[in-house]
Amino acid sequence: MSLAAHLEELGRPLVEEQLAHPTVAGIARGDLDEAVFRSWLEQDYLFLHDYVRVFARLAWQAPAGHLGDLVDLAHATFHDELDLHRSLSAEFGADLDGARKGPACAAYTAFLLDSAASYAEGLAALYPCMWGYSALGARLARNPPAEPRYRRWVDTYADPGFAELTRRCAQMIDEAAPERGRAERLFLEGMRHEIAFWDVPLGG
């Protein structure tokens, strides 16, 4: 079993934990309180800007064969994901310009940016976000919400193009070959940040 596949096995119970989280369950049903999703959009918008910086930091260290992959990941995040957030934010009344990081967002982005000081370890740390959202999207797309705004969110992460980006990230992890125990610890820490991120701050 490849290292990336091993990490995915470790992460599957934590994906189930995310699916059971009230925020994710509300998206799945299409009846999540709009105030909760609005706050999540604001937090994730801030997160994604730092996520682009993580890809850029890794691209600077990448072997020539994967420079383009990391540029593609940064481009897809900066354009596709952030465009989705801007569009949904207009519909939910989110204040992207006035948003400030909550504790979960600040802790997660600090973890990722610090981990990206090492190419191999940075890939292991960010894989929970890439693989986790691809896994969530695939699961939620089996019975997608009827509410069109939440359906658009699900469709973004269930898209085959997003799954392909995730597979490319898995290939980079396997080729970079971080120390297995360290990769496991970083991956599981990233998964814990993913779960904590769904507890979005409300009321400022």
Active site residues: 129, 194
pTM of the model: 0.93
pLDDT at 202: 74
Q: How far, in Å, CA of 51 to CA of 80, rounded?
A: 13
pLDDT more than 90, % of the chain: 85
Helix (H) or strand (E) holding 157: helix 148-158
Question: Region 74-96: what's the mean pLDDT?
Answer: 90
User: At which residue do the structure tokens 């959009």 appear?
Assistant: 41
pLDDT at 102: 95
Q: Which two tokens stand for residue 193?
A: 């940040």
Q: How far, in Å, CA of 77 to CA of 122, rounded?
A: 17
Q: How far, in Å, CA of 98 to CA of 119, rounded?
A: 33
Q: How far, in Å, CA of 198 to CA of 68, rounded?
A: 31
- Hey, where are the domains in the chain? 3-197
pLDDT at 104 over 70: yes
Q: Which fold has domain 3-197?
A: Heme Oxygenase; Chain A (1.20.910)
Arithmetic mean of pLDDT over the chain:
94
Question: Region 88-100: what's the mean pLDDT?
Answer: 91
pLDDT at 200: 87
User: At which residue do the structure tokens 């604001």 appear?
Assistant: 42
pLDDT at 80: 86
Q: How many CA atoms lie within 13 A of 166 on its CB side?
A: 23
pLDDT at 81: 84
Helix intervals (H) in 62-146: 64-75, 82-92, 103-115, 119-140
pLDDT at 125: 98
pLDDT at 204 over 50: no
Q: How far, in Å, CA of 67 to CA of 55, rounded?
A: 10
pLDDT at 23 over 50: yes
pLDDT at 203: 56
pLDDT at 2 over 50: yes
Q: Which two tokens stand for residue 137?
A: 């999207």
Q: How far, in Å, CA of 14 to CA of 132, rounded?
A: 9
Shortest CA distance to 197 belongs to which of 44, 22, 9, 27?
44
pLDDT at 43: 95
Q: How many residues comprise the chain?
A: 204
Q: How far, in Å, CA of 40 to CA of 149, rounded?
A: 14
Q: How far, in Å, CA of 152 to CA of 97, rounded?
A: 22
Q: pLDDT-derived band of residue 192, with 50, 70 and 90 as boundaries? A: very high
What would the pLDDT profile of 143-158 be if each residue is shown by its tens digit? 999 999 999 999 999 9
Q: How far, in Å, CA of 113 to CA of 55, rounded?
A: 9
What would the pLDDT profile of 32-62 be if each residue is shown by its tens digit? 999 999 999 999 999 999 999 999 999 999 9
Burial bucket for residue 163 (CB in 10 Å: 0-12, 13-18, 19+): middle
What would the pLDDT profile of 118-142 be if each residue is shown by its tens digit? 999 999 999 999 999 999 999 999 9
